[in-house]
Amino acid sequence: MLQGYTWPRMMETGKRDLLRSLPAVDAVMRDPSGQTLAASHGRATATAAVREALGGLRRQIVAGERPEVSERDVAEAASRLLTGRGLRRVVNATGVVLHTNLGRSVLSEQAALAAYDVATGYSNLEYDLRSGNRGSRFDHAVPLLRELTGAEAALVVNNCAGATLLALTAVVASKAVEAPEVIVSRGQLIEIGGGFRIPEVLALSGARLREVGTTNRTRLSDYENAINENTSAVLWVHPSNFETVGFTEAVGIQNLTSLGLPIMADVGSGALLSVGEEPRVQRALRDGADLTIFSGDKLLGGPQAGIAVGASRWISTMRHHPLARALRADKLCLAALEATLNSYLDGTAEEHLPTLRMIRAPVPEVEDRATHLAENLRRSVPGLEVDVTPSVARSGGGTLPTYEIPSFAVRLGGTDPEALAEELRSGAPPVIGRVRGGRLWLDVRTLLPGDEEAVIGAIRDAHG
């Protein structure tokens, strides 16, 4: 033992020396790694993360650990802290086009520019340019929706669940009975992402649910037998995220109109063009639905929105209901939606809307992109096992549950796939793939222009 020292004192001295060696926040931010962190997340956010990382390192040292404490080490610790925090752009290599967890539809350049235009200046959101008087935000996008769908009227709110709730509340409230009822097939009592359940929305609207039929078979007579003096409407719901096969029977909208009751149709995906077997909005209206409700950020390819089109009587009832204000869409949504709808009107939707472009991209084109990406990875990351394999992409977002889109993926091997997937998720930008069969798969159908370079850079960094 050294004279005048004990092991505890020596250990405390080592801790003090290590604590003193921790770099200052400014020193970390001047380091190239710190500058990269600031460029990716913004200086204020990066600085806060560096402070948090330094605090964590201090706790490790006090606990007797000996972490690396260089400027680069601190910046990397801060980067790990920021992974998953805040809303960030990511690279979707999952093959799921409308990936709910990754934000569903990607806006077209035209929609993004329209939102940017109204976001960075004033707009006529609630101002009538012709009269100079106050206008209504509920007037925006209406002419476009009427022209595209053939509906008498339209209304845009902030999401499809909100549109369904507002429609049920307004229609049910229009009938002066103590216990209003809404008839719905038992096979259409669905739950979609986030725990959104049709029965619960019905309860919130003040309506009593009247289930008819069975899970797999519902006939028109089931609806007819359920009608009574309290019946306010019939709700028809497209079971967008599952399919019932085998011994089944269902009643279409056209046949339901014979009941003489208001028919509300929730078609979910907002398909205006043919995509698989997904019901189109225009068809629901032609079949006689009084109200047709759908999303803006699914197969429509626009921003998150809930859209209702149909008879003027019911749209006006919804528009003037007090709940409409709580569910109203903001100016960014309305601007992006109008630009998206204009792409349909001018015939450029399949060219301009990323959602439709990805779903409809020819298989040979997808294979060529996968081959090109694999070749560039082999050149950029020597020693990495890379091959190209057929894959199956999906529409996603609660649409077309059994619809398979032929695709191609780049498979990465020679390394722990889970560890590589985690490393890529912590990159800038994060790259999200899927692990299957002991390899990491990167499906190129959902890669956007420029994403290939980001993927190569992220894998190169992970192997650095």
CA-CA distance, 202 to 200, in Å (whole number)?
Answer: 5
At 348, give phi and psi (nearest 5°): -110, 10
User: What number does CATH give the domain 109-352?
Assistant: 3.40.640.10
Give residue 330's pLDDT.
97
Q: Name the residue among 179, 176, 158, 438 with its Cα closest to residue 302.
A: 158
| Burial label, 66 (beta-carbon count in 10 A; 0-12, 13-18, 19+) | exposed
pLDDT at 239: 75
Q: Which residues of the chain have pLDDT under 70?
A: 1-13, 84, 190-199, 202, 240-247, 401-402, 464
Closest CA to 332 of 112, 105, 109: 112
Cα dist from 61 to 8, 17, 20, whole Å = 14, 10, 11
DSSP state of 347: T
Burial of 131 (0-12, 13-18, 19+ CB in 10 A): exposed
Question: Could you give the angle at the alpha carbon of 411 between the alpha carbons of 410 and 413, nearest 5°?
Answer: 145
Contacts of 221 (CB under 8 A, 6+ apart): none
pLDDT in tens, 324-376: 999 999 999 999 999 999 999 999 999 999 999 999 999 999 999 999 999 99
Question: What own/partner pairs with CB < 8 Å and gap ≥ 24 does 379-388 have?
Answer: 380/456, 380/459, 380/460, 381/456, 381/459, 381/460, 381/463, 383/414, 383/463, 384/412, 384/414, 384/415, 384/459, 384/463, 385/412, 385/413, 385/414, 385/415, 386/410, 386/411, 386/412, 386/413, 387/411, 387/413
pLDDT of residue 329: 97
At residue 355, the pLDDT reads 96
CATH 3.20.20.70 fits 91-104+357-462, yes or no: no
**In what helix (H) or strand (E) does residue 274 lie, and over which residues does it extend?**
none
Contact between 297 and 304 (Cβ < 8 Å): yes
Half-sphere exposure of 20 (CA within 13 A, CB side): 6
Q: Do the two domains 91-104+357-462 and 109-352 of this chain adopt the same fold? A: no
pLDDT at 10: 44
Neighbours of 296 (CB within 10 A): 28
Tens-digit pLDDT profile for residues 68-109: 889 999 998 888 888 767 788 899 999 999 999 999 999 999
For residue 194, give both structure tokens.
């986030």
pTM, 2 dp: 0.83
Where in the chain are the domains? Answer: 7-82, 91-104+357-462, 109-352
What letters, b where the CB count within 10 A reaches 16 and e where it falls short, cover 90-111? bbbbbbbbbbeebbbbbbbebb
Would you state the pLDDT for residue 117? 97
Q: How far is residue 189's CA from residue 206's CA, in Å, rounded to a whole number?
A: 17
DSSP string, 365-421: HHHHHHHHHHHHHHHHSTT-EEEEEEEEEEEETTEEEEEEEEEEEEEEESS-HHHHH
Cα–Cα distances (Å) from 374 to 370, 380, 439, 455, in that order, read 6, 10, 14, 11
And the tokens for 78? 């801060």
Distance CA 99, CA 325 (A): 29
> CB of 381 within 8 A of CB of 403?
no
For 8, list phi and psi in degrees, rounded to 5.
-60, -40
Q: Can the peptide bond before residue 429 be classed as cis, meaning omega within 30 degrees of 0? A: yes
The predicted structure's pLDDT at residue 1: 42
